[in-house]
Structure 1
Amino acid sequence: MRAAILTMFNGLAKTYSLVQVVEEQLHMLTSAGIPVRLLVSQDCPDSERYGIFLDERVEWVKINNRLDDRQIHWKDYSQASGRVHASFFREAEAIAADLAEQLAPCDVCLLHDIHYQGWHLVHNVALRLAQASLPELRFFAFTHSAPAEPAPLAHWPFSARYTPMPRTTYVYPTESGLAALAAQYRVPLSQCRAVNNTLDVFAGLGEAAKQLGEAVDFSEPEFLLVYPGRLTPGKRLEKVAGFAGALRKASGGDVRVIFCDFPSLDVSPAAYKNRIRAEGRERGGRDEDYVFTSDCGWPHGFPHQGVMDLFTLSNLYVCPSYSESFGLTVLEAASRGNHLILNQAVPALQELGRELGAAFMRWDARNFGFDTRETYQPSEQAYLDGHAAEAVRAVRGNPALSAKTVCRRRYGRRWIWEHQLKPLLMEEG
C-alpha cells in the first residue's frame, strides 16, 4: 500500500492544530512501513519542516499553486450560493492536473478539511476533477470542525461542500459527530467513520525521555512504575519487581517498571539484574516487564530531567528502600501525580508518606540504632497480593490517575492505529 496525505498546508506552525494531527498520522503510517506522500501547497516553506516532516520515509510533494505564472490566492467560499471569481475554474483545472499526477502512484489518500473548508473549495473541485483519472484510488475525507448544516439547494461549485465524492469515506474525530457529518455530505451513516486524534505524551518532554520512548512501548502497560536509584541491594530493586509481579496478577493487566539505574561497586550489575527479574517472575511478572535504562543507552545513569519526565507518564511509585535520610525521589514522584506506596519501617519515608497521603507497606529496614526484619503471615506472596489488589483499586478509583492512564494508552498512536486508522485503510474499497 502507498498512502498520500493531502493537506495543502501553507506552513507548519504548531498553533494550527491540524499540523499536529497530520504529524501524528505520519508517525503511524511510517511506523507501519507504509510509504507516504505528503501533499502541501507550492508555497509551503521548506524551512518550516521539522521532525517527521524531514523524515526520508515521507515524500514531500508540493502541489501547483500558480495560474499563468501568478500565485493563486484562495478565497473563502463558505456560503452555499453566490458566484466564484472569474479564474476559479481555470485554477481548479491547473491544480487538478498536478493532483492527478502526484496521486497516481497511491492506493489511498487521506484528505484533511479539503471537502469542508470554504477556502479549500478550489481544491475540493480540483480533486473531483482529478478523480476521473484515478479510478482505483480510495479517499478518506477528514473533517476537523463541527459539520455544516446541510444545504440541499446549494449549486455548483458551492455544492461540492455538501455532496459526496465517489469512493470516499467521511471521517470525524468522534463518534458523536458522525450523524451530522453524514447529513452534511448526504451519505449513509455506514459511509462515515470515527478516528480519534492522538496525544503525543512525549511532546514537550526532554530528549532522553523521547529516546527511551522509541525503544520502550509506554502505551501498553496499565500500570507504569518508575524507580530511579543506584543498582544496589540497599535500594531493594528486587522488591519493586516482586510487587510489580503481584500487581500483574491482581490487575490482570500489563505492568512495566522502568529502573533508572546507575552502577554500584558492591554488586555485579548483571547478577543483580538477573536476581531482580527472577524475583519478578516468582511473584507473577515477566522478564519483559522490567526495563533498565542502563541497558537502553545510559550505562552511567539516566538524566535527572529524564526521570522527572518519566514521572509525568507513570501512575504508581513504590519505594521499598532499606534506608533513606529523606527521600527526595518520593516528592518528585508525588509532584508529577503518582500513587505512592512507601516502606513504613523507614522513619523518613513514614514521615513523608503521612504528609503526602501515601499508602504503606513494610519491608526490612534500617532504623536509628537498630535494623528491623519483617515476617509475613501466611506468606510474603499473600502479603504482596493483598497490597497489590489495594493498589489496583486505588489507581483505578482515582479519577486523575485514571485519566492520566487513559490518555497514555487509549489516545496514543498505537491504540488509534490498531483499532481505528489501520482497519479503516484496510477496508475493502
Structure 2
Amino acid sequence: MKVAILTMFNGLSHTYSLVNVVAEQLEMLLKNGVKTKVIVSQDCNDDERKGVYADERLEWVKVTNKFNGNKIQWHDYSQPDGQVHETFYDEVEVIASDLEEKLLDVDICIMHDIHYQGWHLVHNVAIRKVQEKLQNIKFIAMTHSVPVNRPSNPKWPFSCRYTPMPNTTYVYPTYSGIPALAKQFNVPEGKCRVVHNSLNLKSFMSKEVRSIHDQVDLISPDILIVYPARFTTGKRFEKVASLAGVIKAQTELKVKVLFCDFPSMDTNLDKYKAYIKNIGNSHGLEKTDIFFTSDLGYAEGFPRSSVLELFTLSNLFICPSYSESFGLTVIEASSRGNFLVLNEAVPALEELGKQLKAYFMRWDARNFGYDTKEIYKPSEQAYLKEHASRIVNLMRDNPVIYAKTLARQKYSPQWVWYNQLEPLLHPNK
C-alpha cells in the first residue's frame, strides 16, 4: 500500500497549525511502515524541510504551479457563486495533468482542506478530474476548520466545495462537527469519520526521557507510577510494587511502574531487584510492568531534571518510605499533577501530605526516637485491596488527574493511529 498526503503547502512554517497536523500523520505512517509521498506546491521551499518533512523515507513531490510560464495566483473562492478568473479552467487542466502523473502509483490519497478552502478551488476541481481517471484510488478528504453552511443550489465550479467526490470519505477532527460536515458536502453522517489531532508528547521529551520511552511505553498505561529513590530497603520499593500489583489485579487497568533508582552501598542490587519483581508479580504485575532506570542505561542514576519530566507523564505517586526528613520527591510529584499516596506513619510525610491533601496509607516507619510497626487485620493483602479500590476511584473522580491521563493516552499518535487513522486505510482489517 502506498499513501499520498496532498496538502499543496507552499511553505512549512510550524506557525501554520496544519503543518504540525500533517507532520503527526506522517510520523504515524512512517512508524508503521507505510510507503508515503507528500505532494506540495511547486513553490514550497525545500530549505524549510525539517524534522519528519526531511525524513529520507518520504517521497517528496511537487505539483506545478505555473501556467504559460507564469506563477498561478490562487484566488479565494469562498463564496457559493460568482465568476472565476479567466484562466481558471486552463489552470485546472495543467494541475490535473500533473496530479494524475503524481498519483499513478498511489492506493490512497489523503487530502487536507483541498475540498474545503476557497483558495484551493482550482485544486479541488483538478483532483475531481483526476479521480474520474484514477478510480482505483481511495480518497480521504480532511477538513480542519468549522464546516460552512451549504447553499441551496450551488453552481459549478463553486459547488465542488459543497458536493461529494466519488470514492471519498470525509473526515473531521471532532465528533461534534460531523453533522455540519455531512451537511456541507451533502453526504450521510455514516460516511464521515473522525480523526483527532494528536498530541505527540515524545516530540517534547528530553533525550533521556525519550531513551526510556523507547524501551518502556510511557504513554498508554492507565496508571503510570514513577518512584525515584536511593536504592535501599528503607525506601520500600517492594511496597510500591505490591500496591501497584493489587491495583492492576483489582481493576484490570494497564499499570506500569518505573523506578528511578540510584545505587546504595548497603543494598545488594540484584537480590533486591529480584525481590521487588517477585513481590510485584505475586500481587498482580507482569514482569513487563516493572522497570528500573538502572537497567535502561542509567546505572548511576537518572538525571533529576528528567525525573521531573517523567512526573509530567505519570499520574500516581506512591511513597511508602520507612523514613524521611522532608520528602522532596513528594513536592516534585505534586507539582506535576500526580495523585499522592503517602506513608502517614512518617512524620515528615504526614506533614507534607496534610498540606497537599494527599491520600494516606500506613506502613512500618521510623518516628522521632522510636520505630512503628503496622499490624493489618485481617491481612495486609486485604488492606491493599481496600485502598487500591479507593485510590483508583478517587483518581477517576479527580478532573485534573483524569484529564491529564486521557490527554496522554487518547490523544497520542499511537491511539489516533490504531483507533482512527489506520482503520481508514484498512477498513476491512
Counterpart in the other structure of 1:12? 12
Q: How far apart, CA to CA, are the structure 2 residues paired with 1:428 and 1:329?
A: 49
Q: How far apart, CA to CA, are the structure 2 residues paired with 1:63 and 1:304?
A: 49
Opposite residue 254 of structure 1, the aligned amino acid is K
Q: How far apart, CA to CA, are the structure 1 residues paired with 2:20 and 2:69?
A: 32
Q: How far apart, CA to CA, are the structure 2 residues paired with 1:286 and 1:251?
A: 14
Distance 1:178 1:293, change over 3 A: same
Counterpart in the other structure of 1:346? 346
Counterpart in the other structure of 1:168? 168
Counterpart in the other structure of 1:83? 83
Distance 1:362 1:204, change over 3 A: same
Residues 1:178 and 2:175 are matched in the alignment = no
Residues 1:387 and 2:380 are matched in the alignment = no
Q: How far apart, CA to CA, are the structure 1 residues paired with 2:395 and 2:326?
A: 25
- Residue by residue over 1:100-125, the C-alpha shift from the partner in whole angstroms, topping out at 9 and shown as x without a partner, is 12211111111110000001111111
Counterpart in the other structure of 2:219? 219
Counterpart in the other structure of 1:204? 204
Counterpart in the other structure of 1:25? 25
Counterpart in the other structure of 1:195? 195
Q: How far apart, CA to CA, are the structure 2 residues paired with 1:223 and 1:301?
A: 23
Normalized against structure 1, the TM-score is what?
0.95
Residues 1:319 and 2:319 are matched in the alignment = yes
Q: Is the 8 A contact 2:3 2:108 kept in 1?
A: yes
Counterpart in the other structure of 2:414? 414
Cα distance, 1:311 vs structure 2 = 1.0
Distance 1:303 1:79, change over 3 A: same
Cα distance, 1:39 vs structure 2 = 1.3
- Residue by residue over 1:181-211, the C-alpha shift from the partner in whole angstroms, topping out at 9 and shown as x without a partner, is 1221122223211222222234434332233
Q: How far apart, CA to CA, are the structure 1 residues paired with 2:211 and 2:91?
A: 45
Q: How far apart, CA to CA, are the structure 2 residues paired with 1:33 and 1:268?
A: 43
Residues 1:232 and 2:228 are matched in the alignment = no
Distance 1:46 1:230, change over 3 A: farther
Q: CA RMSD in A?
A: 1.8
Opposite residue 7 of structure 2, the aligned amino acid is T
Q: How far apart, CA to CA, are the structure 1 residues paired with 2:54 and 2:231?
A: 39
Counterpart in the other structure of 1:303? 303
Q: How far apart, CA to CA, are the structure 1 residues paired with 2:328 and 2:5?
A: 47
- Please give the residue correspondences for 1:15-54 in structure 2 after superposition, counting only pairs within 5 Å: 15-54=15-54
Q: Is the 8 A contact 1:221 1:254 kept in 2?
A: yes
Q: Is the 8 A contact 2:96 2:129 kept in 1?
A: yes
| Secondary structure of the structure 2 residue equivalent to 1:136 | coil
Counterpart in the other structure of 2:247? 247
Worse-superposed segment, 236-245 or 224-233: 224-233
Counterpart in the other structure of 2:67? 67
Q: How far apart, CA to CA, are the structure 1 residues paired with 2:415 and 2:315?
A: 19
Counterpart in the other structure of 1:113? 113
Worse-superposed segment, 265-274 or 400-409: 265-274
Distance 1:304 1:69, change over 3 A: farther
Q: How far apart, CA to CA, are the structure 2 residues paired with 1:115 and 1:382?
A: 60
| Secondary structure of the structure 2 residue equivalent to 1:215 | coil
Opposite residue 278 of structure 2, the aligned amino acid is A
Q: Which ranges in structure 2 are unaligned for 5 or more consecutive residues?
A: none
Q: How far apart, CA to CA, are the structure 1 residues paired with 2:203 and 2:92?
A: 38
Q: How far apart, CA to CA, are the structure 1 residues paired with 2:112 and 2:184?
A: 16
Counterpart in the other structure of 2:285? 285
Opposite residue 333 of structure 2, the aligned amino acid is A
- Residue by residue over 1:72-107, the C-alpha shift from the partner in whole angstroms, topping out at 9 and shown as x without a partner, is 221111011112222222222222222112211111
- Residue by residue over 1:300-324, the C-alpha shift from the partner in whole angstroms, topping out at 9 and shown as x without a partner, is 2222222111111211100011221
Worse-superposed segment, 407-416 or 263-272: 263-272
Q: How far apart, CA to CA, are the structure 1 residues paired with 2:301 and 2:47?
A: 36
Opposite residue 323 of structure 1, the aligned amino acid is S
Residues 1:124 and 2:124 are matched in the alignment = yes
- Residue by residue over 1:325-363, the C-alpha shift from the partner in whole angstroms, topping out at 9 and shown as x without a partner, is 111110010111111011112211111111111111122
Opposite residue 55 of structure 1, the aligned amino acid is D
Q: Is the 8 A contact 1:206 1:305 kept in 2?
A: no
Counterpart in the other structure of 1:370? 370
- Residue by residue over 1:120-142, the C-alpha shift from the partner in whole angstroms, topping out at 9 and shown as x without a partner, is 11111121122233121100001
Q: Is the 8 A contact 2:219 2:313 kept in 1?
A: no
How many residue pairs match? The answer is 429
- Residue by residue over 1:277-306, the C-alpha shift from the partner in whole angstroms, topping out at 9 and shown as x without a partner, is 111011111111112222223232222222
Counterpart in the other structure of 1:154? 154
Q: How far apart, CA to CA, are the structure 1 residues paired with 2:240 and 2:195?
A: 38
Distance 1:183 1:338, change over 3 A: same
Q: How far apart, CA to CA, are the structure 1 residues paired with 2:301 and 2:64?
A: 51
Worse-superposed segment, 136-145 or 30-39: 30-39
Worse-superposed segment, 206-215 or 388-397: 206-215
Q: How far apart, CA to CA, are the structure 2 residues paired with 1:349 and 1:283?
A: 25
Q: How far apart, CA to CA, are the structure 1 residues paired with 2:56 and 2:265?
A: 44
Q: Is the 8 A contact 1:229 1:261 kept in 2?
A: yes
Cα distance, 1:231 vs structure 2 = 2.2
Cα distance, 1:428 vs structure 2 = 5.8
Distance 1:90 1:303, change over 3 A: farther
Q: How far apart, CA to CA, are the structure 1 residues paired with 2:391 and 2:265?
A: 34
Q: Is the 8 A contact 1:250 1:392 kept in 2?
A: no
Counterpart in the other structure of 1:101? 101
| Secondary structure of the structure 2 residue equivalent to 1:140 | strand
Q: How far apart, CA to CA, are the structure 1 residues paired with 2:57 and 2:64?
A: 22
Q: How far apart, CA to CA, are the structure 1 residues paired with 2:428 and 2:355?
A: 58
Q: How far apart, CA to CA, are the structure 2 residues paired with 1:90 and 1:219?
A: 50
| Secondary structure of the structure 1 residue equivalent to 2:133 | coil
Distance 1:299 1:126, change over 3 A: farther
Distance 1:185 1:263, change over 3 A: same
Worse-superposed segment, 220-229 or 369-378: 369-378
Residues 1:275 and 2:275 are matched in the alignment = yes
